[in-house]
Amino acid sequence: MSDVTPEGAELDQLSSKELHDRAMSLARERRDVGFLWDLLRAIPAAAAARGEVDRAQFDLLHGLSLLEEFTHAGEGDLADALRPFYIEYLSEHAKGT
Averaged pLDDT in 10-residue chunks for the chain of 97 residues: 57 93 93 90 81 62 70 87 92 74
Question: What's the pLDDT at 59?
Answer: 55
pTM passes above 0.75: no
Question: What's the pLDDT at 61?
Answer: 57
**Alpha-carbon gap, residue 63 to 22, rounded angstroms:** 24
Question: What's the pLDDT at 41?
Answer: 83
Question: What's the pLDDT at 3?
Answer: 46
Q: For the beta carbon of residue 44, count every other beta carbon within 10 angstroms.
A: 20
Question: What's the pLDDT at 2?
Answer: 38
